[in-house]
Each structure stands twice: as C-alpha cells, then as structure tokens.
Amino acid sequence: MTGRLNSAQPYAIGLFRIVVGLLFACHGANSLFGTFGGETPDVGAWPAWYAAVIELVGGSLVLLGLGTRAAAFISSGAMAYAYFKVHQPQALWPIENSGEGAAMYCWAMFLLIFTGSGAFGLDRLFTKRSAAQSGTAADQTPVAA
C-alpha cells in the first residue's frame, strides 16, 4: 500500500497546490476588486493593498504551478506577516483572533516551498523541456519518509 501511495504523491501534491492556489487567488481578487462581496483597499495602502496583490499574483502562480517555490515563499511570508502583525496582537490563539486563514495559508504555502508543484504544474513541463534540451534526465522522484 505504501508503494501505491508514494507513486500517487506527485498527483496529490498537484491537486493540493491547485486548490490552495485557487483559494488564495480568490482571496486576493476579493480584496483587490471587491469580487465575492469584499471591500477594496485604496491603491498602495499599506499593508492591505500589497497583501491583496501578493495573494492574487502568488495564488495564480501557485495555481498554475509556475514559479511555485518562489511564489509560495513570498505568499507564506506575507501570511506570516498578516498573522503576527494583524491577528496575534488581538489574542494568542488563531481561534481567538480570527487568524486561522492566515495561519493555514502560511503553512500550506510553506509546504509547497519544499514539495514544489507536483503533477499538473507548468514548472514540471518546463523542467522536462530544459532537461530534454540539455540531454540530462530531470529527477522527478518524490521524497518519501
């Protein structure tokens, strides 16, 4: 059974990346454009407008699997900042300070820094192309515990 699960790991990571990226991008669109009933910050307003741009662009890149590790790194940092500067001063625990979303996005993006895009990502497509052009095989072996 472990062998089957390990062989499915890139697909599970890919689906995880797609869902997290889509939700994160929707959160950014909500903040930037007022879609889904959100309020829009003034252009350039710190930190709300910058956070919304990071959420929309970072979420879109993660969704597509394009520059996943870099986009996830910046997105994770933005959510850590959001948690510690906006939510934690109100109370210690995320359940008390409404910071569950920021904490979950922070850790989900942090995970994607280390796992990469998984299956279905444009990163993987470009890696295969560059490996074929250089004549070396790209190592796509998933890390298993």
> Comparing 56 with 39, which gets the higher pLDDT?
56
Average pLDDT of the chain is: 89
- Collapsing DSSP to helix, strand or coil, 55 comes out as helix
At residue 132, the pLDDT reads 74
Q: What is the DSSP letter of 36?
A: G
Alpha carbon distances (Å) from 45 to 6, 48, 102, 122: 45, 6, 19, 32
Lowest average pLDDT, out of 29-38, 60-69, 133-142, goes to 133-142
Helix, strand, coil: what percent of the chain each, to 5? Answer: 70, 0, 30
Q: Token match 């956070």: residue?
A: 51
The pLDDT of residue 34: 85
Instruction: Please compute the mean of the pLDDT values over residues 108-136 and round it to a whole number.
Output: 84
Distance CA 66, CA 123 (A): 5
Closest CA to 62 of 110, 130, 129, 7: 110
119 alpha-carbon distance from chain centroid? 15
pTM value is: 0.83
pLDDT in tens, 118-127: 888 898 777 7
Residue type, 144: A
How much is the average pLDDT of 5-14? 93
- Percent of the chain past pLDDT 70, that is, above it, reads 92
- The residues, any chain, with a CB within 8 Å of residue 70's CB and separated by 6 or more, are 61
